[in-house]
Amino acid sequence: MKVIKRLIKLTIFSAFLIILSTSGIYLYAKMNTKIEINKNNSYYLYDISDEVFFEGNGTSEWVNLNEISNYLKTATITIEDKNFYNHHGFNILRIIKAALNNLKSKSYKEGASTITQQLAKNLFLDFDKTWKRKIEEVWYTIQIESNYSKDNILEGYLNCINYGHGMYGIENASEFYFNKSAKDLTLAEAAMLVSIPKSPSNYSPLVNETKAKERQTYILNTMLKNNVISKDEYNDAINEKLTYYAKKDKLNLNTIMYYQDAVLKELESMDYTIKTHLENGGIKVYTTLDLKAQESLENSIKQNITNNDEIQVSGIIMNSNSGAILGLVGGRDYNKSEYNRALSAKRQVGSIMKPFLYYNALENGFTASTSFLSQETTFKVGNDTYAPKNYNNLYPNKAISMASAIAFSDNIYAIKTHLFLGSESLVNIAKRVGINTELNNIVSLPLGTVELNPLEITNAYATLASLGVKHKPYFIEKITDISGNVLYEHKDTSEVVLNKSTTFILNELLKGTYDYNMIDYAYPTNISISSLLTHDYGIKSGSTDTDNWIIGFNQDIVSSIWIGYDDNKEMTSDDFKYSKKIWANAVENYLKDKEEINWYSVPENVVGVIVDPITGNLATNESTHKKILYYVKGTEPSYTQEVFDEYVGVVGEEEQNINKEEIKE
């Protein structure tokens, strides 16, 4: 009996301590500086013309609780937190139940957040599932519950949650979907809107009306079971046909959400002073967004991909002289997939890796005329062999110049160059131009067997476009508080990493990928879009079984397009047609009506020479092909060019030994 009495006393004492400590925490929170829930996270995003393209939790659309339909309020509480008015921020029984169910299913599918917790997350936190974030959520929840009434909390929640398509807050959402104020929503409309925040990319009626209707029906059923609506109200709402005012193709609603996410990601990396202003009044963010660039990308994607719902895309237009991102697309439809491939995906890059190999070659004594024999070849690498193939198994079976190798994307020439220089040298060049992904020192590296991020490889090409100046890509030019006081300004961190003259020569060679003068045993890789181009560009495309790329630039912009499937499914022959046309249409449309678009001026120490671009020899009257190629003065070709195969071991009719000092696996 004594043991039982002690246990009872201990239990009572423990409960008393818990109550006392909990009360103390809530009292401390109440005495602490009161946090604002009707202004926090108010941010305004401006494009390069200083026009607002997004308002996050803006006070201009804030509505009082008594100006919101009772149907909407009731539906929200019923489906999100039916004990909202009876707890102090946390539903302990719900937390325990969710934890048990998650343990049983070995997942984290079931949540137990109250409306107050969700408000705390939306206003102050990201959605990472870390212990630090969970502890912060608990503290913010306690602060909110200690300082505001339940009606204040519900009002804050309904004015800040995401209803899809960039619509934050119930008034914005009501006007967007139904062209009416939140106070005028019918039960059917209210239930439809309440269905969206759980997963805007799945339950928006503009994305999938069938799924949205199923969730609306579930919400109405739940309301009926909880006796908050009558059977007649339920039947009327189920049978009400809803008409949506919103247009799916509005530029400011659907096509810049990927860009907006990129801005917010950069904003999250800012120091605490920016976040402090965000939490206490709001900020104005002046971005690098050029709506014409964004619109050019989006329209070109829509026009060129019309009959394949699964294939995905990344698109970027960047100012190569500063690193400013002018337009960015992370997928075909943000409302169906919020995954931002431009920022987060890593894909095999294929032959778009080759220009960095050829810059390295030019820097180490090669010229546009340097020749290798290109034929079907098996390379002996240490104790192993490697047999790369040209596209469609098409080989010139003769010595070709670097100019030809670039135009036709010849794999044999690339591997011979790579082995000649030593495979480590390409890794070093990649680091110089801004590729931060760790690259393996392997023989197949110039053929793009590495996976890189679209923004990362685009920025590397920007180093070529700026004639060797490396910039850090960015989305935010300036941040001010609501009164206009400057909190942050972007600072140039550019660095010269490549030789200007050498880069100019390479950029000229990249024009050969769409040049009719290069047609010989094969067509240049980008000849199919030559007729679409009205300006000069350095262009390189690349393909693997699962990925298709094109990146091109002039002295002002660099643009990339990636096409592929999220599950790495192999692409069909039809799939490979998309990227080049998307790129050409987007870039040409963006540059249309620009006042001055010039190619690069020839550096003083560089000379242009008329040569046969296939062989690299000086052109003669009998030459079939004639083209001006560029050389550092003193390295111009003679009538007979040396072919460098004696330096590279191959397994062919006559096996040769590789100089192992030149090859580092």
Taking Cα atoms as reference points, which of 228, 200, 229 lies closest to residue 212? 200
The residue type found at 498 is: L
Per-residue pLDDT, averaged over 427-434, amounts to 95
Percentage of the chain lying above the pLDDT 90 cut = 58
Amino acid 38: pLDDT: 62
* 247 band by pLDDT with thresholds 50, 70 and 90: low
Amino acid 4: pLDDT: 63
Other CB atoms within 10 Å distance of the CB of residue 566: 13
Which residues have CB under 8 Å from 612's CB, separation 6+? 618, 619, 620, 623, 624, 625, 626, 627
Structure tokens at 252: 């400011």
Which residues have CB under 8 Å from 102's CB, separation 6+? 108, 109, 110
Residue 21 has pLDDT above 90, yes or no: no
Structure tokens at 245: 């005012």
Question: How far is 438 from 663, CA to CA, in rounded Å?
Answer: 19
Residues taking part in catalysis: 80, 351
The residue type found at 49 is: S
* 120 band by pLDDT with thresholds 50, 70 and 90: confident
Chain Cα centroid distance, residue 108: 26
Q: Which of 117-126, 363-372, 457-466, 470-479 has the lowest mean pLDDT?
A: 117-126
Structure tokens at 256: 């810049």
Per-residue pLDDT, averaged over 417-434, amounts to 93
439 vs 3 pLDDT, higher one: 439
Amino acid 27: pLDDT: 52
Q: DSSP labels for 559-594?
A: EEEEEE-TT-PPPPTTGGGHHHHHHHHHHHHHHTT-
Amino acid 160: pLDDT: 82
Taking Cα atoms as reference points, which of 252, 291, 293, 285 lies closest to residue 266? 285
Residue 22, CA distances (Å) to 26, 299, 657 in order: 6, 56, 78
Residue 12 has pLDDT above 70, yes or no: no
The residue type found at 234 is: Y
Average pLDDT over all residues of the chain: 84
Residue 168, CA distances (Å) to 38, 194, 221, 258, 327 in order: 13, 13, 26, 16, 23
* 129 band by pLDDT with thresholds 50, 70 and 90: very low
Amino acid 651: pLDDT: 40
Output the CATH code of domain 325-477+489-601. 3.40.710.10
Structural contact between residues 350 and 542, judged by C-beta atoms closer than 8 angstroms: yes
* 101 band by pLDDT with thresholds 50, 70 and 90: low
Question: How far is 260 from 253, CA to CA, in rounded Å?
Answer: 11
One-letter-per-residue 3-state SS of 324-347: EEEEEECCCCCCCCCCCHHHHCCE
Residue 512 has pLDDT above 80, yes or no: yes
pLDDT tens profile 360-403: 999 999 999 999 999 999 998 888 888 999 988 999 999 999 99
422 vs 168 pLDDT, higher one: 422
Structural contact between residues 451 and 347, judged by C-beta atoms closer than 8 angstroms: yes
Which residues have CB under 8 Å from 227's CB, separation 6+? none
> How do strand 476-481 and strand 347-348 relate by DSSP bridges?
unpaired
Per-residue pLDDT, averaged over 286-290, amounts to 97
Fold of the domain spanning 37-267: Penicillin binding protein transpeptidase fold (1.10.3810)
Write down the domain spans for the chain: 1-31, 37-267, 325-477+489-601
Which residues have CB under 8 Å from 616's CB, separation 6+? 367, 368, 369, 370, 371, 400, 401, 402, 403, 404, 629, 637, 641
Residue 280 has pLDDT above 90, yes or no: no
Structural contact between residues 612 and 624, judged by C-beta atoms closer than 8 angstroms: yes
Q: Phi then psi for 25, rounded to 5 degrees?
A: -65, -45
Question: How far is 395 from 380, CA to CA, in rounded Å?
Answer: 19
Per-residue pLDDT, averaged over 144-168, amounts to 83
Structural contact between residues 422 and 400, judged by C-beta atoms closer than 8 angstroms: no
Q: In a 3-state reduction of DSSP, which class is residue 515?
A: coil
Amino acid 658: pLDDT: 34
Q: If you search the block for the tokens 């192992």, which residue do you land on?
A: 660
Sign of CA dihedral 253, 259, 262, 268: negative
Percentage of the chain lying above the pLDDT 70 cut = 79
CA angle 554, 556, 559 (to 5 degrees): 65
Specify the pTM: 0.74
Question: How far is 163 from 177, CA to CA, in rounded Å?
Answer: 10
CA angle 494, 500, 502 (to 5 degrees): 135
37-267 and 325-477+489-601 share one fold: no
